[in-house]
Amino acid sequence: MSVTKPIRVMVVDDSAVVRQVMSAVFSREPDMEVVVAQEPLIALRKMNEAMPDVILLDLQMPRMDGLTFLRRIRSHAIPVVICSAFSGANTQAAVRALEYGAIDIVQKPELGLKTFLDESAATLVELVRAAAGSRAAVRRETEDEDKRRASAPTPDTLTRPRPRWGATPAPSSDRIIAIGASTGGTAALHKLLGAMPSDCPGIVVVQHMPAGFTAAFAQRLDETCRIEVREAKDGDMICSGTALVAPGNHHLLVQRRGEAYYAQVRGGPTVSRHRPSVNVLFHSVAVAAGTKAVGALLTGMGDDGADGLLELRNVGAPTFAQDEASCVVYGMPKAAVACGAVDGVTPLSRMSQALIAAAQAPKH
């Protein structure tokens, strides 16, 4: 009888409290074992003894920062989850870490052991289990990103064939593309939005991400895409050639007023365990836009967005899910397929074309 190898979780953090909290969380799971390192050089030595399956990584540490460590271990294609506090420089570093291959960000526990264990431990354990199963996908993402960086234009040759946000009023969008993503979604959105033409329909996005990171993430997307990308603000008009990203810890909804669509940013309870919730966005888009909407669910754990995508399909909107082979975590798309919410299962490399074609198709 074979024995399943436990998931080896490495926590790299210079805070003794964080190491204690994480050890308490993972040590009580029968399928996990935890090893800690108070800084990256010690982590590298321990990795020579036994490779971890998942790494939880702080960013600000002595002797070597988290970004440098992440680049050092990139070739190993180990799933990395950033465990970071919310502060200015750290926020920018966390967004960079996602570009360097980290698959998700979680808030560093600073409210005390009991509060963290009560409120966040189950979600963190679920995330680590999902990350442990994503190593092949992480390796593919690493290889693809290396190729992209090698062929990317230099800043001198990169042109953006449209004015910056707010320079001239953009036309309101007749069609809307609604996108939901979670674990692994930041890299997926870089690819998908980066392939969108500058005159694409207005796009609304929910990416599960803690408050404090979404503005920096949207800004980074804006720097690398032909379309305008920014964090949504309440009352923003949804315009062609633009994408609005839901702010962390707030729901994003769409409302129609006359011939135009507007963003609503709201608080309220979590839905499907999330705020922002993809289901909340999709439900509102189904009501506001109906057949003029297109919906897509990208990589992510859990099932947020499946019910909302089904509602979009039921009102006649084309719906898509990222295929398993290109997902880092095939959770949300799988749930959508299982409940009959999906018209087309599409590789990430062809998702932008599929969404544009569906938005341009005649509506009857």
Q: Per residue in 222-260, is it b (16+ CB within 10 Å) or e — as a string?
A: beebbbbbbbbeeebbbbbbbbbbbbbebbbbbebeeee
DSSP tag of 248 = T
182 is catalytic: yes
The CA-based angle 310-316-318, given to 5 degrees, is: 75
- At 163 the pLDDT is 46
Whether 334 and 301 have beta carbons less than 8 Å apart is answered as no
Full set of structural domains in the chain with CATH: 7-148 (3.40.50.2300), 176-360 (3.40.50.180)
Mean of per-residue pLDDT scores for the chain: 88
Closest among 305, 202, 190 to 263, alpha carbons compared:
202
What residue ranges in 86-152 does DSSP mark as E strands? Answer: 104-107
Whether 39 and 14 have beta carbons less than 8 Å apart is answered as yes
- At 170 the pLDDT is 65
| pLDDT tens digit sequence for 69-86 | 999 998 888 999 998 876
Distance of CA 179 to the CA centre of its chain: 11
* Per-residue confidence band for 157, with pLDDT thresholds at 50, 70 and 90: very low
Q: Residue 64, Cβ neighbours under 10 Å: how many?
A: 16
3-state secondary structure of 236: coil
- Dihedral over Cα of 220, 214, 308, 253: its sign: negative
The gap between the terminal CA atoms of the chain, to the nearest Å, is: 59
Of the residues 222, 304, 307, 323, only one is catalytic, namely: 304
Q: Per residue in 325-358, is it b (16+ CB within 10 Å) or e — as a string?
A: ebbbbbbbbbbbbeeebbbebbebeebbebbbeb
| pLDDT tens digit sequence for 173-219 | 789 999 999 999 999 999 999 999 999 999 999 999 988 889 999 99
Q: Which residues contact 341 (CB under 8 A, 6 or more apart)?
A: 306, 307, 309, 310, 312, 313, 319, 321
Of the residues 190, 208, 250, 283, only one is catalytic, namely: 208
Closest among 12, 9, 21 to 51, alpha carbons compared:
9
Of the residues 84, 134, 182, 352, only one is catalytic, namely: 182
The answer to whether residue 310 scores a pLDDT higher than 90 is yes
